[in-house]
Amino acid sequence: MFPNNDLSFGSLLLLGERSSYNDSEKCVLLSTATLLISNREGESLPVKAILDSGACCNLISENLVGLLGVERQKTDAVISCLNGASVRVKTQLKTDISNRKGDYIRKIDFLVVPKITGVTLSKCLDISELNLPPNITLADPHFQKPGKIDLLLGNEYFCEFLRPGQCRVPNSQLIIQNSVFGFLASDRLKPKQ
């Protein structure tokens, strides 16, 4: 159930692919966005984030913290996961995130964790037949491809991120929802064969 037997945060995210049913063709997309995060010098680096309304905190990976070079503060927090599992967190930090257009900036507190999750998808999703509206900007232009996740934005700001505008893409299960980062893609898609 958990990739590489890593129980640390896989249980927190309920990752998208299921193989315990005779439904191995189903892949549930988690809402991801490519956003910018500030390093110690105030420069912005692009990063792929999961937006998770079911998470009670914001998380950043140790790897990304190392790249940013931002100062950490001590903390003593416990993150509860599924099945009563919990993870103790010892450091936190505060830094700015922004959308790629630069018209949304927010200073956010993050708990520092070794790893948020594995790669979000194990296979590319086939979007060749999707009729995405031509006038939209996707929050994650590569939502259909496997990608490394270094940020998780929880429910604290989730509703603030959302903007009016949602539609189901014709002849698919895909729903796109407007946000400050662009349109988020979520729901079920068929993996590429």
Q: Can you give the CATH number for the domain in which 45 is found?
A: 2.40.70.10
8 Å CB contact between 46 and 108: no
Of 94, 99, 92, 176, which Cα lies nearest the Cα of 131?
176
pLDDT for res 81: 80
Q: Is 17 helix (H, G, I), strand (E, B) or coil?
A: strand
In a domain, 157, yes or no: yes
In a domain, 119, yes or no: yes
Separation CA 15–CA 21 (nearest Å): 15
In a domain, 77, yes or no: yes
- Tokens 């892949």 -> residue: 27
In a domain, 68, yes or no: yes
In a domain, 124, yes or no: yes
Taking only the tens place, the pLDDT of each residue in 100-124 is: 999 999 999 999 999 988 666 666 7
In a domain, 115, yes or no: yes
In a domain, 192, yes or no: no
Taking only the tens place, the pLDDT of each residue in 42-75 is: 999 999 999 999 899 999 999 999 999 999 999 9
Would you tell me how many other CB atoms lie within 10 Å of the CB of residue 52? 21
Residue 66 structural domain: 32-130+141-164
Domain count, the chain: 1
For the entire predicted model, the pTM comes to 0.82
